[in-house]
């Protein structure tokens, strides 16, 4: 059986995990954008956050539609994620660390 990428959702362990965590990430980014809105020095970071919001919101909408259209994918994806939890967790740690470094670098540049 061949696998194919149906929808890239990001650094999440599973589709279910993405559906639960993406809305919170969107709220956090929107709140951060609001806090930085008046700061001219942070204009680049606000633009970066806007791109993240737009991309994540689009993926979330597409993922919700896919989950509604093909609910069997959620179950199959959960089983796949359960088979290799150590690999997924390690990959996610690396990605979170990279994201945190990028966030700090942006914050340092805006200071």
pLDDT tens digits along 17-74: 889 999 999 999 999 998 888 787 788 888 999 999 999 999 999 999 988 998 888 8
Question: Between these two residues, 14 and 65, which has the higher pLDDT value?
Answer: 65
The pLDDT value given to residue 109: 79
Half-sphere exposure of 88 (CA within 13 A, CB side): 16
On whether the CB atoms of residues 15 and 74 are closer than 8 A, the answer is: yes
On whether the CB atoms of residues 79 and 38 are closer than 8 A, the answer is: no
């Amino acid at each position: 059986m061949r696998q194919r990428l149906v929808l890239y959702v990001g650094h999440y362990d599973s589709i279910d995990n993405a559906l639960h965590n993406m809305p919170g990430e969107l709220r956090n980014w929107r709140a951060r954008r609001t806090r930085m809105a008046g700061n001219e020095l942070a204009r680049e970071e606000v633009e970066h956050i806007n791109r993240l919001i737009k991309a994540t919101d689009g993926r979330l909408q597409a993922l919700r539609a896919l989950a509604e259209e093909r609910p069997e994918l959620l179950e199959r994806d959960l089983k796949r994620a359960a088979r290799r939890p150590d690999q997924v967790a390690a990959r996610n740690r690396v990605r979170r660390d990279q994201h945190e470094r990028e966030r700090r670098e942006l914050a340092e540049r805006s200071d």
